[in-house]
Amino acid sequence: MTSIMLTVGIPIALAWVMFCVGLSLQVRDFKRAAKFPVKIVAGLFAQLVGLPIVAFVLIHVFTLPQSVAIGLWLIALAPGGASSNAITHLCRGDSALSISMTAFSSLIVPFSIPVLLPVIMPDAVLNMPLKTAVLQLMVVTVVPVALAMSIKHYFTSQTMQTFYGIAERSSLWALCLMVVITVIANGNAMLELFSIAALAVLVLCLLAMLLGILTARVIGGDKQLSKTFAIEVGIQNAGTAIFVAVVLLQQPQLALTPLLYGVLMNIPAALLIFMSKKTHTRRLQTS
């Protein structure tokens, strides 16, 4: 029963999460990149190149158990999180840029994960043939996003609009389902490695956000861009990392670290939201 939940439940849950991401996207989100290509390229470079480098250094500086190290690497290779756009909006960041970055990273990682995973896990090539990995990742990420965008474009009735609203809100429940399935399959391992993995993911999340801020400053960005990059680089799609661990690699124990990341990354995100609201309130009072 647990095996079926892992191999069937998690792919379906992740596909639904990505479908919900697609409902928030439009073709113009991709076209928008032409208006600020430097920001898009810099942000994606920080997320898809810089973050893996940070994770690589972190893994080798600290003596981490193999399962935690590989899980940390999976998170670093994942795309932007489904909640990053909402968090960016709450922090008064650049929502349009955030949506564009999430869209592009979600399309890139099905190809980048299979190529970069062997850096930390050399035998992954044997367990996960490149073509198979790319196809499976596309089926549960790119295809649901494209399908949702198409449906929303062609079906605009009031009934469908209601459905879209309900569907987008349900993505949280889909993520919760993935968490429950992963916890059931890894209860003992989670208890043994919780403290080590929790510390590792918090450090990675904070360093990722710092990387985003530094990247924004390097290209001469303002505070709004710094917040946007901090969130996009730091808020990763834990669902994709869990899917790779459980379904593609067939090693559920590797999902522990991504699972904790998906939970604990909300702590610095909540602090950013609180600080942004406090700053905004102060400005209103002084104006």
pLDDT higher than threshold 70 for residue 13 = yes
| Predicted local distance difference test score (pLDDT) of residue 207 | 95
Residue 28 pLDDT exceeds 80: no
Helix (H) or strand (E) holding 213: helix 187-218
Mean pLDDT across 216-243: 90
Across residues 24-38, what is the average pLDDT? Answer: 74
Which pLDDT score is estimated for 187?
59
> Where are the chain's structural domains?
2-278
Read off the pLDDT of each residue in 19-25 and give the average, rounded to a whole number: 77
**Position 240 pLDDT exceeds 90:** no
Class of residue 131 by CB neighbours under 10 A (exposed 0-12, middle 13-18, buried 19+): exposed
pLDDT band at 18; cut points 50, 70, 90: confident
Mean of pLDDT values over 78-102: 80
Higher pLDDT, residue 221 or 171: 221
| Mean pLDDT over each residue of the chain, to the nearest integer | 81
Indicate the Cα dihedral angle 46, 47, 48, 51, nearest 10°. 80
**128-187 residue pLDDT tens:** 666 777 777 788 778 888 888 888 888 878 878 888 777 767 766 676 666 666 666 665
Which residues are CB-neighbours of 254 under 8 A, at least 6 positions away?
67, 70, 71, 74, 245, 246
| Topology (CATH) of 2-278 | Na+/H+ antiporter like fold (1.20.1530)
- Of 21-30, 192-201, 263-272, which gets the smallest average pLDDT? 21-30
**Percent of the chain as helix, strand, coil, to the nearest 5:** 85, 0, 15
Alpha carbon distance 145, 80 (integer Å): 14
Q: How confident is the model at residue 77 (pLDDT cuts 50, 70, 90)?
A: very high
DSSP 62: T
The pLDDT score that the predictor gives to residue 54 is 96
Quick one: pLDDT at residue 48? 94
pLDDT of 82 higher than 70: no
Residue-wise pLDDT for 185-197, tens only, equals 665 655 666 678 8
Answer with the residue of higher pLDDT: 272 or 230. 230
Average pLDDT (48-67) is: 92
More confident of the two residues 33 and 271: 271
CA pseudo-torsion sign 64, 261, 135, 41: negative
